[in-house]
Amino acid sequence: MRINCPHCGERSLDEFSYLGDAVVRPDPASPNAQDAFYAYGYERANVAGPMQELWYHAAGCHAWLVVTRDTRTHEISEVKSAQEVALARQKVAGTAQ
Amino acid sequence: MSELANDIKKASLEASERTGLTVTHIAARRGARASLDDVARTAFGVSLPSSPKAVEAQGALIVWTGPDQWLIVQKDETGLDHYAELAKTFNGLASLVDVTDSRTIFRIAVSRPSETLLRSMGIDFHDNSFRPGDVAITHVSHLGVIVWRLPDGTAYDFACARTYSRDFADWLRKTMA
Ligand SMILES: [Zn+2]
């Protein structure tokens, strides 16, 4: 498997480490924070199909990436910088308020 | 002669350890990328590369080392403190670390990679893919390296953590043997 790092270009899997599901950490100030964090920590979705995952370009540029990968075929349809994804989410959250 | 230099000499490589340099790592502060670039253009006459490239400017080589991060490699000059100068230039816009003593830079003075070097790299190191001025952060035999091809195409530089320089020299010896 190869990942196309948006900063470095296409690199072999051995340069990356895997964190897991790229779901957003719950808001600790929300009223159901305890349940939300329990679900975040323990109730992992075992997706058969495309899912968004966090990967770290450990032996490269040290950027965190959000990779959309099909768990059945390892086909990667999208790679984005995690920073960009987080900023875009913040923006969406900002306009919703 | 240092043990390392001796090792390199024994292996009769076209490689050498670069000395007499000041190496500074700089990272843009949050939101300061644009102003940092303005300052860099005034000081060096070039923009800081935003892709894996190395640019030469005013005797300094500016090497991209990740998003919003660079290494600035400068030849030592008597009576000049490059690090202090850079700290003054980029004050408030970037975080700077003098990494001169924590990095070893090896130079392979060849204009094109040898067959063995080509095969030893995990990335596409072919003459047509890895062009003069290109930079890659990668690893060789589990040793992290930043490699760049000089903008004038005369050599390849490999920067590794100084702690691993003996191991890196060992890799070079095996690669080039
Ligand atoms: Zn990368």
Tell me the per-residue pLDDT of A74-92, one tens digit each, with 9 for 90 and over: 999 999 999 999 888 888 8
**Looking at the predicted structure, is the pLDDT value of residue B9 above 50?**
yes
Separation in Å, CA of A76 to nearest CA in chain B: 19
Q: Among B42, B67, B100, where does a domain finish? A: B100
A87 touches B at CB < 8 Å: no
Question: B168 and B146, same structural domain?
Answer: yes
Q: Which residues of A touch B136 (CB under 8 A)?
A: 8
Alpha helices in chain B (DSSP H): 3-10, 33-44, 82-89, 115-120, 165-176
Would the CB atoms of A81 and B137 count as touching at under 8 Å? Answer: no
Domain carrying residue B144: 3-18+103-176
Number of domains observed in the structure of chain B: 2
Q: How far apart are CA B118 and CA B123, in angstroms?
A: 9
B1 pLDDT more than 90 = no
Q: Single out the residue of B103, B106, B95 nearest to residue B23, CA to CA.
A: B103
| CATH number for the domain formed by residue range(s) A2-96 | 3.30.2270.10
Out of B45, B65, B100, a domain closes at: B100
Report the residue from A8, A14, A81 with minimal CB separation from B137: A8
Section A24-50 average pLDDT: 92
Q: Is residue B12 very low, low, confident or very high in pLDDT (cuts 50, 70, 90)? A: low
CATH number of B70's domain: 3.30.70.1520
Three-class secondary structure assignment of A2-59: EEEECCCEEEEHHHCEEEEECCCCCCCCCCCHHHHHHHHHHCCCCCCCEEEEEEECCC
Average pLDDT, chain A: 92
- Which of the listed residues B54, B78, B100 is the one where a domain comes to its end? B100
Instruction: Name the token pair of B113.
Output: 């990679």
Identify whether residues B85 and B129 lie together within a single domain: no
Domain ranges of chain A: 2-96
Same domain, B149 and B161: yes
Mean pLDDT of B103-113: 93
pLDDT computed for residue B62 by the predictor: 98
Given pLDDT bands bounded at 50, 70 and 90, which one contains residue A93?
A: confident
- Are B95 and B43 within one domain? yes
Q: Where does residue A91 rank: exposed (0-12), middle (13-18), buried (19+ CB within 10 A)? A: exposed
CATH number at residue B156: 3.30.1360.120
Q: Identify the CA nearest to B105 among candidates B48, B43, B61.
A: B61
What ipTM does this complex have? 0.85
Are B127 and B64 found together in one domain? no
Q: Other C-beta atoms within 10 Å of A65: how many?
A: 25
Percentage of chain B beyond pLDDT 90 is 77
Chain A residues near residue B65 by CB distance under 8 angstroms: 61
Q: What is the pLDDT of residue A97?
A: 46
